[in-house]
């Protein structure tokens, strides 16, 4: 038998052995999953249909650290709990990369053309994009957000009084427009915003595990998201080349970006524009509609929002409402591909996670931990102030750069909407599932909008 030397790795049946003082995380499996073939089918099905449920159940059965062997892809090791969250998201980008995740997203990862096709260059572009976006949505620029919001709402809400509106499509569309105008400017959005919003909607609505899996097969070419991506590429490339937008500040900012120390290639400018708009529209669109649904469908919360005196106070409370919406339905998968092994300690045990595994945090379980959040499943933004901050916007090298912007955008829009209108829901609130990526309501949510007494109209 081979002798193990602490800190070294031996290979056995293709897998590395941990050092003597550490152990590999237990391999999690569900009922029937050990049966050859049938087990593989069951596991693939579960991973595709309900990946978050699978992780939560595995945590209950196998403890805070466990590995899921996702057939045909990678080994996914969950480090659950707050320490796991810190460990996963605290990895530097050369140790924990987002390549395996980003590379599997159809539009961002492999459909929208770039100069190169490898995932390393994709991560470099994403990191450069993150830095660019941090500058676009912070600092003195944030002061212009209200003007943009007021402009968008004034023109779009003028026809709402006494009408039945489908909130599930109207609200994301308002937020797409506000985010789009904020980063691209009015001339650009006036020319192409309507079409861009429709394309991004189609793409974002398709971000689910089953569709991402289908996208990677030859059948992907027949998916509506594929056609939307091709059209998006065309529209953005035309805008970038157009004389009319030669001085557009966003396009100029993109051209001055450096990627891994060199100037961005002209061939990557459309991708970067796509990426900025993707982030600035699709995330607020999804979380904005669900925050509104949560507030309107909880009369006690709506009353508390309206009782706040003055816009600043109302917005602060509505920003808490957004946080509460994210707390209960956080971004489902926060994961990194390991380029080197990782040693991790939990509950007195040392775990060795080999290079090549994907490590993931589980914000869903952190945010619903009954020992930290009173009545954790309940939507109660008014009672969370003294509880621990939830896992909302990530942290570390790939943490969100737009938390303040998003809070200001969504709370500002909800404040204006709820101050002007009474919204009486006609349909039951659609079911929501915590998915890996952005969930949108799966069917219309009609509401009758009426101007409130005393509103400006
Ligand atoms: C409610 C809305 C939003 C939520 C819940 C959210 C959440 C998150 C989370 C959890 C991460 C960490 C991802 C990881 O560690 O793998 C992240 C990263 C990031 N977010 Fe946000 N975000 C939102 C809105 C936005 C907006 C509006 C923008 C852009 C203006 C943005 C830009 C980014 C960027 C650039 C990253 C870095 C990682 C990447 O490139 O994907 N986010 N966000």
Full 3-state SS string of the chain: CCCCCCCCCCEECCEECCCCCCECCCEECCCCCCCCCHHHHHHHHHHHHCHHHHHHHHHHHHCCEEEEECCCCCEEEEECHHHHHHHHHCCCCCCEECHHHHCCCHHHHHHCCCCCCCHHHHHHHHHHHHHHHHHHCCHHHHHHHHHHHHHHHHHHHCCCCCEEEEHHHHHHHHHHHHHHHHHHCHHHHHHHHHHHHHHHHHHHHCCCHHHHHHHCCHHHHHCHHHHHHHHHHHHHHHHHHCHHHCCCHHHHHHHCCEECCEECCHHHHHHHHHHHHHHHHHHHHHHHHHHHHHHHCCHHHHHHHHHCCCHHHHHHHHHHHHHHHHHHCCCCCEEEEECCCEEEEECCEEEEECCCCEEEECHHHHHCCCCCCCCCCCCCHHHCCCCCCCCCCCCHHHCCCCHHHHHHHHHHHHHHHHHHEEEEECCCCCCCCCCCCCCCCCCCCEEEEEECCCCCC
With a 6 Å cutoff on the Cβ, whether 271 touches ligand 1 is no
Assess contact for 411 and 287: CB atoms under 8 A: no
Output the CA torsion 331→213→275→238 (10° steps). -150
Long-range CB contact pairs, 10-16, < 8 A, 24+ = 15/354, 16/341, 16/352, 16/354, 16/355
Report which ligand 1 atom has the smallest distance to the Cα of 330. Answer: 5
pTM, to two decimals: 0.93
pLDDT of residue 269: 98
Assess contact for 434 and 364: CB atoms under 8 A: yes
With a 6 Å cutoff on the Cβ, whether 201 touches ligand 1 is no
Q: What is the rounded CA–CA span in Å between residue 288 and residue 407?
A: 10
Q: What is the rounded CA–CA span in Å between residue 14 and residue 5?
A: 18
Question: If you average pLDDT over residues 288-300, what whole number do you get?
Answer: 97
CB atoms within 10 A of CB 428: 9
Q: What is the rounded CA–CA span in Å between residue 1 and residue 66?
A: 27
Assess contact for 250 and 180: CB atoms under 8 A: no
Expressed in angstroms and rounded, the spacing between residue 128 Cα and the centre of ligand 1 is: 14
The separation between the first and the last C-alpha atoms of the chain, rounded to the nearest angstrom, is 82
Expressed in angstroms and rounded, the spacing between residue 393 Cα and the centre of ligand 1 is: 6
Q: At what angle do helices 186-205 and 167-184 cross, to 10 degrees?
A: 130
pLDDT of residue 15: 63
Report the residue among 88, 91, 127, 283 best suited for mutation to probe ligand 1: largest number of ligand atoms under 8 A from its CB: 283
Question: If you average pLDDT over residues 36-40, what whole number do you get?
Answer: 64
pLDDT at 87 over 90: yes
Which is higher by pLDDT, 239 or 207? 239
pLDDT of residue 151: 95
Q: Which of 146, 117, 218 is nearest to 405 (CA)?
A: 146
| pLDDT band with cut points at 50, 70 and 90 for residue 39 | low
| pLDDT band with cut points at 50, 70 and 90 for residue 435 | low
Report which ligand 1 atom has the smallest distance to the Cα of 102. Answer: 41
Contacts of 92 by beta carbon, 8 Å cutoff, 6+ apart: 397
Report the residue among 84, 126, 393 best suited for mutation to probe ligand 1: largest number of ligand atoms under 8 A from its CB: 393
Q: What share of the chain in percent tops pLDDT 90?
A: 76
pLDDT of residue 45: 63
pLDDT in tens, 395-432: 999 999 999 999 999 999 999 999 999 999 999 998 88
With a 6 Å cutoff on the Cβ, whether 130 touches ligand 1 is yes
pLDDT of residue 450: 96
Which is higher by pLDDT, 417 or 33? 417
Report which ligand 1 atom has the smallest distance to the Cα of 137. Answer: 30
Q: Is 431 exposed, middle or buried (0-12, 13-18, 19+ CB in 10 A)?
A: exposed
User: Which residue minimizes the CA distance to atom 16 of ligand 1?
Assistant: 334
pLDDT in tens, 198-236: 999 989 886 777 788 788 889 999 999 999 999 999 999
Q: What is the rounded CA–CA span in Å between residue 188 and residue 276?
A: 14
Question: If you average pLDDT over residues 126-143, what whole number do you get?
Answer: 95
pLDDT at 9 over 50: no
With a 6 Å cutoff on the Cβ, whether 397 touches ligand 1 is no
With a 6 Å cutoff on the Cβ, whether 196 touches ligand 1 is no
Expressed in angstroms and rounded, the spacing between residue 3 Cα and the centre of ligand 1 is: 45
Expressed in angstroms and rounded, the spacing between residue 400 Cα and the centre of ligand 1 is: 4
Which range in 64-73, 285-294, 328-337 is most confidently predicted, on average pLDDT? 285-294
- For the chain, the structural domain boundaries read 11-451
Expressed in angstroms and rounded, the spacing between residue 278 Cα and the centre of ligand 1 is: 11
Question: Residue 455, Cα to own-chain centre: how many angstroms?
Answer: 34
Q: Which CATH superfamily is domain 11-451 in?
A: Cytochrome P450 (1.10.630.10)
Report which ligand 1 atom has the smallest distance to the Cα of 409. Answer: 27
pLDDT in tens, 48-59: 667 888 899 999
Structure tokens at 421: 């209108």
pLDDT at 7 over 50: no
CA dist list (Å): 411 to 236, 270, 441: 29, 31, 20
Mean pLDDT for all residues in the chain: 90
Q: Can you tell me which residue has the tokens 């595995």?
A: 58
With a 6 Å cutoff on the Cβ, whether 85 touches ligand 1 is no
Q: What is the rounded CA–CA span in Å between residue 410 and residue 197?
A: 17
User: Which residue minimizes the CA distance to atom 19 of ligand 1?
Assistant: 400
pLDDT of residue 448: 97
Report which ligand 1 atom has the smallest distance to the Cα of 391. Answer: 10
Longest dimension (CA), the chain: 83
């Amino acid at each position: 038998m081979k002798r193990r030397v602490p800190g070294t790795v031996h290979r056995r049946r293709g897998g590395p052995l941990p050092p003597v003082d550490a152990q590999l995380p237990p391999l999690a499996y569900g009922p029937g999953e050990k049966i050859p073939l049938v087990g593989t089918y069951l596991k693939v099905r579960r991973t595709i249909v309900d990946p978050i449920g699978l992780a939560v159940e595995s945590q209950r059965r196998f403890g805070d650290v466990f590995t899921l062997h996702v057939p045909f892809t990678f080994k996914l090791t969950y480090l659950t709990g707050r320490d796991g969250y810190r460990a996963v998201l605290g990895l530097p980008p050369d140790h924990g990369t987002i390549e395996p995740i980003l590379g599997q997203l159809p539009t961002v990862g492999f459909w929208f053309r770039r100069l190169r096709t490898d995932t390393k260059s994709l991560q470099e572009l994403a990191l450069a994009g993150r830095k660019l976006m941090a500058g676009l949505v912070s600092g003195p620029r944030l002061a212009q957000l209200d003007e943009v919001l007021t402009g968008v709402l004034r023109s779009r809400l003028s026809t709402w009084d006494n009408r039945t509106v489908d909130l599930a499509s109207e609200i994301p569309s308002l937020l797409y427009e506000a985010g789009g105008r904020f980063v691209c400017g009015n001339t650009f959005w006036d020319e192409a915003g309507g079409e861009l919003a429709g394309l991004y909607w189609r793409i974002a609505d398709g971000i689910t595990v089953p569709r991402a899996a289908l996208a990677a097969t030859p059948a992907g070419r027949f998916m509506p998201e594929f056609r939307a991506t091709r059209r998006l590429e065309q529209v953005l490339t035309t805008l970038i080349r157009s004389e009319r937008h030669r001085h557009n500040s966003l396009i100029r900012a993109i051209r001055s970006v450096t990627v891994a120390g060199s100037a961005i290639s002209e061939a990557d400018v459309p991708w970067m524009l796509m990426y900025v708009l993707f982030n600035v529209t699709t995330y607020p669109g999804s979380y904005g509609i669900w925050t509104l649904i949560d507030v309107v469908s909880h009369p006690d919360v709506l009353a508390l929002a309206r009782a706040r005196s003055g816009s600043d106070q109302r917005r602060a409370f509505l920003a808490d409402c957004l946080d509460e919406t994210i707390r209960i339905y956080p971004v489902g998968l926060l994961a990194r591909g390991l380029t080197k092994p990782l040693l991790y300690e939990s509950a007195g045990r040392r775990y060795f996670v080999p290079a090549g595994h994907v490590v993931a945090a589980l914000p869903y379980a952190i945010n619903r931990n009954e020992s930290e959040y009173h009545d954790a499943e309940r939507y109660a933004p008014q009672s969370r102030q003294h509880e621990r901050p939830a896992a909302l916007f990530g942290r570390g090298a790939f943490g969100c750069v737009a938390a303040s912007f998003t809070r200001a955008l969504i709370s500002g829009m909800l404040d204006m909407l709820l101050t002007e209108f009474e919204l009486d829901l006609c349909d039951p609130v659609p079911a929501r599932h915590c998915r890996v990526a952005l969930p949108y309501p799966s069917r219309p949510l009609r509401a009758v909008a009426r101007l409130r007494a005393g509103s400006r109209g």
